[in-house]
Amino acid sequence: MFVLGLSRQQPGASHEMIEKEGSDRLKGQVNSVSWSGPIKAIINPLANFYHVSMEIIGLISVALQASTLLLNKRRRQLFFSLFQRQVYNAGVAAIYINGIIGILIGTLLISRLFDYLPRQIIEDQFGQIFMVVVFRELGPLISGIILIARSATAITAEIGYLRLRREFQVLNGLGINPVFLFLLPVFFAFPVSLFLMFIYFDVIVYLSSFTIVWLSDPSISFTGLLTSILSQITLNEIAINAVKAILGGMLIGIISIYFGAKVEDSFTEVTEAISKATTAQLLVFFIINVLLSLLAYTQ
């Protein structure tokens, strides 16, 4: 067995030579593991993150360039049919799930507050509590998670499928930039959808919260409670939510397209793309939300 192994390795080489060579190689591997391993383990993900970030920025610039095609009326019509489809799928059809979660959050929020605070304080401070907890933080976060879970994953899968079917090449053959048909509608529809979802969520949380308050005190006024919230909403609050929707929606859409477009030949690449895209989207969306909240609301 050993002789056979020796002759296969290198005709004419001695047992000792092979052993020494093998031992040196092993030492080299051990050394490289002990020194370069941890460094690579730190550098590689950072380099990869940098590379992906640059490509995503590149994709944003490609989308902005492709936007000039919208100056043509016929192309604008083509774009709007796909844009409407995306807004309907991502923003309008999300009303059910957004609504259900809004009802649960509204009910939970008020019933918990009743457990911890006197009713008078809740009624007096309702507007402020709603603003800080729901309008500023929970609305954007939960809407973003819903957008990622039900629409962004679908877009990543759709783009991956279009890549598998070579439909990007088909469009190129027709002289049509695939960015125009596949990327641009998502790029513009996701921020609009996310903003719509913020609105549904806030409205539904308010309605369910009011229902709970009203059940415990039927004398409470619907408009009085609503006014207490509206008096808290400044232009600044709306602008910050709009920035969260625009930045968050745009990046969620672009990340879906980016990973979907990485698919080449195999269906397994589609699942991999969905997984990577979802991870990146959750991370990016949480970072945007936390940073914007810290910047805007920290005194």
Partner 1 sequence: MPLIAKNIYMEYPEAIVFKDLNLEVADQQMIAVKTEVLDGGTTLLKGLAGMLDDIVGEVHLDSMDLLHMNAAQRAMTVGYVHEEQGLVSLYDCYQNIALPLQFHTMISDELVETRIFDLCEQFSVDRKLLNEYPHALNDVQTRMMNLLRALVIRPKLLLIDELEGGMSEEILEATIHSIRGKQEENSMIVIITTSHDFLLSEADRSYQIENKSLLEYL
Residues that bind partner 1 (CB under 8 A): 73-75, 77-78, 82, 161-162, 165-167, 170-176, 181
At its nearest, how many Å lie between partner 1 and the CB of residue 166? 7
CA distance 282 to 286: 6
Phi, psi (5° rounding) for residue 86? -70, -45
At its nearest, how many Å lie between partner 1 and the CB of residue 172? 7
Q: Which is nearer to partner 1, 18 or 176 (CB)?
A: 176
At its nearest, how many Å lie between partner 1 and the CB of residue 264? 15
Q: Which is nearer to partner 1, 7 or 172 (CB)?
A: 172
Q: Which is nearer to partner 1, 61 or 77 (CB)?
A: 77
Q: Which is nearer to partner 1, 173 or 218 (CB)?
A: 173
At its nearest, how many Å lie between partner 1 and the CB of residue 193? 18
At its nearest, how many Å lie between partner 1 and the CB of residue 156? 15
Q: Which is nearer to partner 1, 222 or 267 (CB)?
A: 267
Closest CA to 198 of 139, 116, 147, 247: 139
CA distances from 115 to 29, 108, 215, 279 (A): 62, 11, 15, 36
Q: Token pair for residue 77?
A: 């019509």
At its nearest, how many Å lie between partner 1 and the CB of residue 183? 13
Q: Which is nearer to partner 1, 53 or 172 (CB)?
A: 172
